[in-house]
Amino acid sequence: MGKHKVIFDTDPGVDDALALYYLIRHPQIQLLGVTTVFGNASVADTTRNARFLLRSWDVSVPVHAGAAEALTPDMPSEDFPVHIHGANGLGNIAIPDTAVDEADTAAQFVIDQIRANPGQIRILAVGRMTNLARALQMAPDIADLVGDVVIMGGAFRVPGNITPAAEANIWGDPLAADMVFGADWHVTAIPLDLTTRTLINRRELQSIADKGGAGMQLVADLSQDYISFYGQAGFDGMVIHDCCAAVFLTDPDLFRLTHGQVRVLWQGIGLGLTIMNPRDRKGPNAEWDGLPLQAYSHDGDVDAIVSRIAQVCGGE
């Protein structure tokens, strides 16, 4: 079996770091590059963080800075979630580098890689969908050339974590998300419906780090405040949103999917709401007419997902 050729679109971010470590450790993943976007921190910070993590793990893959702001018009200004991911985006661990503004090359990198590897590229996007939407604007043909797109985002049958309607990644640029779901490529969303039930507590994380060595210990160290935040929010451990989506790339059999056409509201009180028209629904489709079938994971084998992360990141 050939390796999965993956582009990781991310905003590191504590749980992004665990997902990135999973990707570089999994023997069936060929990580072609990392593209960064604003979200858990500014794009300057998320780019610096991605470079820091890869260098710390002695991994050489290209990093391309991307979008610094949303495509959605009149998007409310947001404060970066420093109470969750720390002031530097990585749990306030010491990072020797200073964040600097870099050229916005992420969308072009995505386009170039898809065109150079038709039908082979898998995109894993765990932040705002802005880079992907901009790539589609620049080169609509890539929708027919990509392998598939897996995103961490959405809240289909559960409340959002930013508003009752919206999950953070979708809420941060809902117009971009609507464009991504509406494009003629195959999208699978791993939403809050599943990820909020996928947790690792402090003891379990340290056990993985003890087996995984210095690289995984770095992930454990930068995750401590993140675990504390989720403890205050009533969770027995940290919610591993992004790594859950990474596992879908390698172990789709652990996930149960619902298929249909998806729209995202990008105006009004429902800003960021993800709405699926299930493929077995009978009746008028209105604003969903002509859209491609996409998928979201409504359920999965949570214990097996966590076990697979421990196996890959712990080196078992």
| Residues with active-site annotation | 11, 241
Give the pairing type, strands 4-10 and 121-125: parallel
**Which residues, including other chains, have CB under 8 Å from residue 313's CB and lie 6 or more apart?**
18, 21, 22, 25, 208, 212, 216, 219
What phi and psi values does residue 35 have, to the nearest 5 degrees? Answer: -115, 140
Orientation of helix 43-56 relative to helix 214-222, angle to 10°: 150
- Reading across the β-sheet that carries 274-278, which strands appear in turn? 63-65, 29-36, 4-10, 121-125, 148-152, 187-190, 294-300, 255-264, 274-278
Could you tell me the two tokens for 121? 């590229």
Angle between helix 224-232 and 202-212 (nearest 10): 160
- What burial class does residue 309 get, using C-beta atoms within 10 Å of its C-beta: 0-12 exposed, 13-18 middle, 19+ buried? buried
Give phi and psi for 259, each to the nearest 5. -115, 145
Instruction: Report DSSP letters for 148-210, one per residue.
Output: EEEEE---SSS--SSSSS--HHHHTSHHHHHHHHHSSS-EEEE-HHHHTT-EE-HHHHHHHHH
Angle at 240 between CA 236 and CA 246, to 5 degrees: 155
- Is 134 in contact with 71 (CB distance < 8 Å)? yes
Which amino acid, one-letter code, is at 3? K
Tell me which amino acid residue 280 is: D
